[in-house]
């Protein structure tokens, strides 16, 4: 039971990192588009 909880926490952290990374790259692409326009 504890192991499952620990695993869920790890996947939440990984998912959070993934969302942050995706958000940063989306922001970066928007900046590039603004510069090209």
pLDDT, one tens digit per residue, over 2-28 is 888 999 999 999 999 999 999 998 888
Whether residue 35 is predicted with pLDDT greater than 80 in this model: the reply is no
Task: Band the pLDDT of 32: cuts 50, 70, 90.
Answer: confident
Render the burial of 12-21: b for 16+ CB within 10 Å, e for the rest.
eeeeeeeeee
The residue with tokens 């940063």 is: 24
Q: What Cα–Cα distance (Å) separates residue 19 from each residue in 3, 12, 31, 34?
A: 24, 10, 18, 22
Task: Band the pLDDT of 1: cuts 50, 70, 90.
Answer: low
Predicted local confidence at residue 11, as pLDDT: 93
Whether residue 37 is predicted with pLDDT greater than 70 in this model: the reply is no
């Amino acid at each position: 039971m504890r192991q499952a909880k620990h695993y869920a926490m790890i996947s939440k952290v990984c998912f959070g990192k993934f969302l942050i990374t995706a958000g940063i790259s989306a922001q970066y692409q928007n900046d590039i588009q603004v510069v090209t326009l």
